[in-house]
Amino acid sequence: MSARYEELKGLKNLGQKYAYTDREVMLYAYGIGLGADPMDEKELAFVNEGTLTPRPLKVVPTFASVAAWGSGPGEMNLNRVMVVDGERDITFHQPLPVAANITADSSVLEVYDKGKDKGVVISHQTVLKNEKGEKLATLVASRFARGDGGFGGPNLTQPDPHRIPSRSPDKTIDITTRPDQALVYRLCGDRNPLHSDPEFAKKAGFPRPILHGMCTYGITCRGVLQTYADYDPSAFRQHVARFSSPVYPGETVTMDLWKDGNVISFEAKVKSRSVTVIKNGKTVLG
């Protein structure tokens, strides 16, 4: 067995400690575009705790993706310039509190070596727990390292993605992004210069900085919130998406959604460039 494969497969980091407050909760909601209309009470509930008439602040379910930003199974020694998000799958065990001290347990699940010059996909898991040791959310991420691979390992095939219904969408919505949205979202933790530094973006093969894949992921959660979840974060049980192409800040994201019982399937595209940016999306409500 390849030593490099064994090295990556064995990465594990347990008991990582983090804390967040309502400030981080509101910043994340604003970072994915909620609150653009300052008079929309449903969206304000995620970015404003209320003053004259106090109200509980709501937490966007996918805030789980940044609640323990920086946690992970360990140093993977990859070519950072060539690393992009492949897929994200979050299972929600209970609604996230507005503020909390949490721990994160991270481990590599599997390594899919696509061959020399074809890259490698690394699937890793992080379990968030509250101070009582109860699970809050389980995050499974797939990281596509385009500049690595070819070191060998078992000949494995990635699991098949969620299948989108063949019928026409039940709903289609447009969600606009701001030209400065990546500069706001990066304050949630992801300081990768690919999203803020024009020179770095060009070195990575993009004409200008791109929106974080995880911001687009949050935008799809927002889309389900406003259509089939009635802005109720506690309705979310799972949210899955596969990244297929980047969004540039300022573009409009068009979401197609299909409802089958408690399962919402979705895809997202940027019509102005005729590209699909999110594929095989699935939200489970309950």
Within 8 A by CB and 6+ apart from 242, the residues are 86, 87, 161, 278, 279, 280, 281
Of these residues, 190, 212, 239, 256, which one is catalytic?
Answer: 190
Give a three-class secondary structure readout of 193-245: HHHCCHHHHHHCCCCCCCCCHHHHHHHHHHHHHHHCCCCCHHHEEEEEEEECC
From residue 54, how far is each of 35, 46, 49, 50 by CA, in Å? 17, 13, 7, 5
Of these residues, 195, 212, 239, 256, which one is catalytic?
Answer: 195
**Is 190 noted as a catalytic residue in this protein?**
yes
Within 8 A by CB and 6+ apart from 217, the residues are 62, 65, 85, 88, 239, 241, 243, 278
**Is 93 noted as a catalytic residue in this protein?**
no
Catalytic (active-site) positions: 190, 195
